[in-house]
Protein backbone atom coordinates (compact mmCIF):
# COMPACT_ATOMS: atom_id res chain seq x y z
CA UNK A 1 0.00 0.00 0.00
CA UNK A 2 1.10 3.57 -0.64
CA UNK A 3 0.58 4.67 2.97
CA UNK A 4 2.60 1.98 4.74
CA UNK A 5 5.10 4.57 5.98
CA UNK A 6 2.37 5.89 8.28
CA UNK A 7 2.67 2.68 10.31
CA UNK A 8 6.35 3.43 10.91
CA UNK A 9 5.51 7.08 11.60
CA UNK A 10 2.86 6.20 14.17
CA UNK A 11 5.14 3.69 15.84
CA UNK A 12 7.87 6.30 16.22
CA UNK A 13 5.46 8.84 17.69
CA UNK A 14 4.13 6.30 20.20
CA UNK A 15 7.71 5.55 21.21
CA UNK A 16 8.38 9.28 21.61
CA UNK A 17 5.39 9.74 23.92
CA UNK A 18 5.94 6.59 25.97
CA UNK A 19 9.61 7.25 26.72
CA UNK A 20 8.82 9.91 29.29
CA UNK A 21 12.46 10.79 30.05
CA UNK A 22 13.21 11.41 26.36
CA UNK A 23 9.99 13.38 25.92
CA UNK A 24 10.60 15.52 28.98
CA UNK A 25 14.26 16.24 28.21
CA UNK A 26 13.67 17.03 24.53
CA UNK A 27 11.00 19.58 25.43
CA UNK A 28 12.68 21.06 28.50
CA UNK A 29 16.26 21.39 27.23
CA UNK A 30 15.66 24.21 24.70
CA UNK A 31 13.54 26.10 27.23
CA UNK A 32 16.33 25.88 29.82
CA UNK A 33 18.92 26.93 27.22
CA UNK A 34 16.92 30.03 26.41
CA UNK A 35 16.05 30.80 30.02
CA UNK A 36 19.58 30.56 31.46
CA UNK A 37 22.04 31.09 28.61
CA UNK A 38 19.80 33.48 26.71
CA UNK A 39 18.87 35.73 29.61
CA UNK A 40 22.44 35.78 30.99
CA UNK A 41 24.08 36.50 27.64
CA UNK A 42 21.43 39.02 26.68
CA UNK A 43 22.36 41.32 29.56
CA UNK A 44 26.05 41.16 28.57
CA UNK A 45 25.61 41.63 24.83
CA UNK A 46 23.09 44.42 25.29
CA UNK A 47 25.52 46.23 27.61
CA UNK A 48 28.43 45.87 25.18
CA UNK A 49 26.46 47.02 22.15
CA UNK A 50 24.41 49.76 23.83
CA UNK A 51 26.87 52.40 22.59
CA UNK A 52 26.14 51.50 18.95
CA UNK A 53 22.98 53.36 17.87
CA UNK A 54 20.46 51.70 15.60
CA UNK A 55 20.01 53.32 12.16
CA UNK A 56 17.00 55.56 11.80
CA UNK A 57 13.81 53.68 11.00
CA UNK A 58 15.29 50.25 11.77
CA UNK A 59 13.74 48.09 14.50
CA UNK A 60 16.27 47.46 17.33
CA UNK A 61 16.13 44.01 18.95
CA UNK A 62 17.81 42.70 22.08
CA UNK A 63 20.15 39.73 22.09
CA UNK A 64 17.57 37.39 23.62
CA UNK A 65 15.34 37.90 20.60
CA UNK A 66 18.27 37.53 18.22
CA UNK A 67 19.38 34.30 19.93
CA UNK A 68 15.87 32.80 20.15
CA UNK A 69 15.90 32.06 16.43
CA UNK A 70 19.24 30.33 16.93
CA UNK A 71 17.82 28.21 19.74
CA UNK A 72 15.03 27.06 17.43
CA UNK A 73 17.63 26.09 14.83
CA UNK A 74 19.85 24.43 17.44
CA UNK A 75 17.01 22.30 18.76
CA UNK A 76 16.03 21.27 15.23
CA UNK A 77 19.64 20.31 14.51
CA UNK A 78 20.00 18.16 17.64
CA UNK A 79 16.64 16.45 17.17
CA UNK A 80 17.35 15.69 13.52
CA UNK A 81 20.92 14.45 13.93
CA UNK A 82 19.91 11.96 16.60
CA UNK A 83 16.58 11.10 14.97
CA UNK A 84 17.95 8.06 13.20
CA UNK A 85 19.16 6.41 16.39
CA UNK A 86 15.90 4.46 16.67
CA UNK A 87 16.89 2.59 13.48
CA UNK A 88 20.11 1.48 15.13
CA UNK A 89 18.20 0.15 18.12
CA UNK A 90 15.85 -1.69 15.76
CA UNK A 91 18.90 -3.32 14.14
CA UNK A 92 20.32 -4.40 17.48
CA UNK A 93 16.97 -5.75 18.72
CA UNK A 94 16.29 -7.69 15.51
CA UNK A 95 13.28 -5.59 14.50
CA UNK A 96 14.95 -4.10 11.45
CA UNK A 97 15.45 -7.56 9.95
CA UNK A 98 11.71 -8.17 10.11
CA UNK A 99 10.92 -4.75 8.64
CA UNK A 100 13.30 -5.21 5.71
CA UNK A 101 11.87 -8.67 5.02
CA UNK A 102 8.27 -7.38 4.96
CA UNK A 103 6.45 -6.46 1.70
CA UNK A 104 6.70 -2.80 2.69
CA UNK A 105 9.07 -0.83 0.42
CA UNK A 106 12.30 -0.04 2.22
CA UNK A 107 12.00 3.65 1.44
CA UNK A 108 8.85 3.76 3.56
CA UNK A 109 10.91 2.93 6.63
CA UNK A 110 13.14 5.96 6.24
CA UNK A 111 10.19 8.18 5.28
CA UNK A 112 8.22 7.14 8.35
CA UNK A 113 11.17 7.81 10.65
CA UNK A 114 11.90 11.14 8.94
CA UNK A 115 8.32 12.38 9.12
CA UNK A 116 8.11 11.49 12.81
CA UNK A 117 11.32 13.45 13.39
CA UNK A 118 9.84 16.43 11.55
CA UNK A 119 6.74 16.25 13.74
CA UNK A 120 8.91 16.25 16.88
CA UNK A 121 10.75 19.30 15.56
CA UNK A 122 7.49 21.14 14.92
CA UNK A 123 6.34 20.41 18.48
CA UNK A 124 9.62 21.67 19.94
CA UNK A 125 9.62 24.80 17.77
CA UNK A 126 6.09 25.64 18.91
CA UNK A 127 7.09 25.25 22.56
CA UNK A 128 10.22 27.37 22.13
CA UNK A 129 8.29 30.19 20.45
CA UNK A 130 5.61 30.16 23.15
CA UNK A 131 8.16 30.03 25.96
CA UNK A 132 10.22 32.75 24.30
CA UNK A 133 7.22 35.08 24.18
CA UNK A 134 6.76 34.52 27.92
CA UNK A 135 10.41 35.51 28.49
CA UNK A 136 9.96 38.70 26.49
CA UNK A 137 11.29 37.62 23.10
CA UNK A 138 10.07 40.11 20.49
CA UNK A 139 8.90 37.66 17.86
CA UNK A 140 6.58 39.02 15.13
CA UNK A 141 7.05 42.75 16.00
CA UNK A 142 4.01 44.73 14.87
CA UNK A 143 2.66 41.86 12.79
CA UNK A 144 -1.03 41.49 12.04
CA UNK A 145 -2.71 38.18 13.04
CA UNK A 146 -2.77 37.04 9.41
CA UNK A 147 0.92 37.81 8.96
CA UNK A 148 1.76 35.94 12.18
CA UNK A 149 0.04 32.83 10.86
CA UNK A 150 1.88 33.08 7.53
CA UNK A 151 5.17 33.65 9.36
CA UNK A 152 4.68 30.58 11.52
CA UNK A 153 3.95 28.53 8.40
CA UNK A 154 7.11 29.93 6.83
CA UNK A 155 9.17 28.95 9.87
CA UNK A 156 7.69 25.44 9.78
CA UNK A 157 8.55 25.17 6.07
CA UNK A 158 12.21 25.97 6.77
CA UNK A 159 12.32 23.71 9.82
CA UNK A 160 10.69 20.90 7.83
CA UNK A 161 13.16 21.11 4.93
CA UNK A 162 16.17 21.32 7.25
CA UNK A 163 15.06 18.52 9.59
CA UNK A 164 14.17 16.24 6.67
CA UNK A 165 17.67 16.56 5.26
CA UNK A 166 19.43 15.82 8.52
CA UNK A 167 17.02 13.06 9.51
CA UNK A 168 17.75 11.28 6.24
CA UNK A 169 21.45 11.83 6.84
CA UNK A 170 21.12 10.42 10.35
CA UNK A 171 19.22 7.41 9.01
CA UNK A 172 21.97 6.75 6.47
CA UNK A 173 24.65 6.79 9.17
CA UNK A 174 22.54 4.63 11.49
CA UNK A 175 22.13 1.94 8.85
CA UNK A 176 25.90 1.83 8.30
CA UNK A 177 26.98 1.64 11.96
CA UNK A 178 26.55 -1.14 14.47
CA UNK A 179 26.82 0.50 17.90
CA UNK A 180 24.89 3.37 19.51
CA UNK A 181 28.15 4.65 20.97
CA UNK A 182 29.65 4.97 17.49
CA UNK A 183 26.60 6.85 16.22
CA UNK A 184 26.59 9.19 19.20
CA UNK A 185 30.28 9.89 18.69
CA UNK A 186 29.84 10.72 15.01
CA UNK A 187 26.82 12.96 15.64
CA UNK A 188 28.49 14.78 18.52
CA UNK A 189 31.54 15.38 16.35
CA UNK A 190 29.35 16.88 13.61
CA UNK A 191 27.15 18.93 15.94
CA UNK A 192 29.86 21.28 17.22
CA UNK A 193 31.20 22.60 13.88
CA UNK A 194 27.74 22.81 12.33
CA UNK A 195 26.37 24.77 15.27
CA UNK A 196 29.26 27.11 16.02
CA UNK A 197 30.18 27.82 12.38
CA UNK A 198 26.80 29.42 11.85
CA UNK A 199 24.95 32.60 12.72
CA UNK A 200 22.80 30.95 15.39
CA UNK A 201 24.29 32.71 18.43
CA UNK A 202 26.27 35.62 17.02
CA UNK A 203 26.87 37.57 13.80
CA UNK A 204 29.26 36.01 11.30
CA UNK A 205 30.59 39.36 10.06
CA UNK A 206 33.46 39.16 12.57
CA UNK A 207 34.41 35.61 11.53
CA UNK A 208 37.72 35.03 9.73
CA UNK A 209 37.21 34.81 5.96
CA UNK A 210 37.56 31.02 5.95
CA UNK A 211 34.84 30.58 8.58
CA UNK A 212 32.60 33.07 6.79
CA UNK A 213 32.89 30.98 3.63
CA UNK A 214 32.15 27.78 5.53
CA UNK A 215 29.18 29.42 7.23
CA UNK A 216 27.67 30.39 3.88
CA UNK A 217 27.57 26.68 2.95
CA UNK A 218 26.30 25.59 6.35
CA UNK A 219 22.64 24.46 6.18
CA UNK A 220 22.11 25.74 9.72
CA UNK A 221 22.96 29.28 8.62
CA UNK A 222 20.26 29.12 5.94
CA UNK A 223 17.76 27.78 8.47
CA UNK A 224 18.50 30.65 10.87
CA UNK A 225 18.15 33.17 8.04
CA UNK A 226 14.69 31.84 7.23
CA UNK A 227 13.57 31.83 10.85
CA UNK A 228 14.76 35.39 11.45
CA UNK A 229 13.15 36.62 8.26
CA UNK A 230 9.74 35.30 9.25
CA UNK A 231 9.98 35.88 13.02
CA UNK A 232 11.81 39.23 13.14
CA UNK A 233 11.27 40.87 9.76
CA UNK A 234 13.37 41.73 6.74
CA UNK A 235 15.21 44.70 8.33
CA UNK A 236 16.29 44.88 11.98
CA UNK A 237 19.24 45.85 14.18
CA UNK A 238 20.76 43.49 16.75
CA UNK A 239 24.13 42.81 18.39
CA UNK A 240 25.57 46.00 16.91
CA UNK A 241 24.79 45.08 13.31
CA UNK A 242 22.01 45.68 10.81
CA UNK A 243 20.35 42.70 9.15
CA UNK A 244 18.42 42.92 5.91
CA UNK A 245 16.82 40.09 3.96
CA UNK A 246 15.28 40.21 0.53
CA UNK A 247 12.76 37.78 -0.89
CA UNK A 248 15.48 36.43 -3.16
CA UNK A 249 17.72 35.79 -0.15
CA UNK A 250 15.02 33.78 1.62
CA UNK A 251 14.09 31.80 -1.49
CA UNK A 252 17.77 31.01 -2.07
CA UNK A 253 18.14 29.75 1.50
CA UNK A 254 15.04 27.57 1.18
CA UNK A 255 16.19 26.21 -2.17
CA UNK A 256 19.56 25.35 -0.62
CA UNK A 257 17.84 23.38 2.15
CA UNK A 258 15.55 21.66 -0.36
CA UNK A 259 18.51 20.58 -2.51
CA UNK A 260 20.33 19.37 0.60
CA UNK A 261 17.28 17.30 1.60
CA UNK A 262 17.02 15.85 -1.94
CA UNK A 263 20.68 14.78 -1.92
CA UNK A 264 20.27 13.19 1.52
CA UNK A 265 17.17 11.36 0.27
CA UNK A 266 19.13 9.83 -2.61
CA UNK A 267 21.92 8.73 -0.26
CA UNK A 268 19.46 7.29 2.26
CA UNK A 269 17.48 5.48 -0.42
CA UNK A 270 20.62 3.88 -1.81
CA UNK A 271 21.68 2.81 1.69
CA UNK A 272 18.31 1.26 2.53
CA UNK A 273 18.06 -0.57 -0.79
CA UNK A 274 21.48 -2.16 -0.25
CA UNK A 275 21.11 -2.76 3.49
CA UNK A 276 21.64 -6.31 4.74
CA UNK A 277 20.73 -6.98 8.38
CA UNK A 278 21.50 -10.36 9.89
Ramachandran bin of 253, using left for φ above 0, alpha for ψ from -120 to 50, beta for the remaining angles = alpha
Give per-residue pLDDT as tens, 223-278. Answer: 999 999 999 988 888 877 788 899 999 999 999 999 999 999 999 988 888 776 65
Gap between the Cα atoms of 82 and 219, Å rounded: 17
Mean pLDDT of 62-91: 83
Could you tell me the CA-to-CA distances from 36 to 40, 42, 187 in Å, in that order?
6, 10, 25
Give domain limits for the chain. Answer: 5-274
Starting at the edge strand that comes first in sequence, how are the strands of the sheet with 241-244 ordered? 59-60, 235-238, 241-244
Mean pLDDT of 81-87: 79
- Mean residue pLDDT across the chain: 83
Bigger pLDDT: 33 vs 78: 78
* pLDDT score recorded for residue 206: 77
- pLDDT(1) > 60: no
Mean pLDDT of 127-148: 88
Mean pLDDT of 50-72: 78
* pLDDT score recorded for residue 164: 93
Instruction: Return the minimum-mean-pLDDT range out of 45-59, 145-159, 220-234.
Output: 45-59
In the chain, what percentage of residues exceed pLDDT 90? 28
Mean pLDDT of 77-97: 77
Give SS3 for 61.
Answer: coil
DSSP, residue by residue, 197-247? SSSSSS-STTS-HHHHHHHHT-HHHHHHHHHHHHHH-SEEEETTEEEE--H
Amino acid sequence: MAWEFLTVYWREMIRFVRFRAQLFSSLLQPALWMAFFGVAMSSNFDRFTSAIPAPAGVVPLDYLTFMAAGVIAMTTLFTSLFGGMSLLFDKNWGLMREMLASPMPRTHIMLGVSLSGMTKSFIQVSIIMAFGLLLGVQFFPGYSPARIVLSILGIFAFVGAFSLGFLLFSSTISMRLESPEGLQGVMTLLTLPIFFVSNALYPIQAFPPVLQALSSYNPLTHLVNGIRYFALGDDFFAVGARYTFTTADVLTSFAYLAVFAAVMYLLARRTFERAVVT
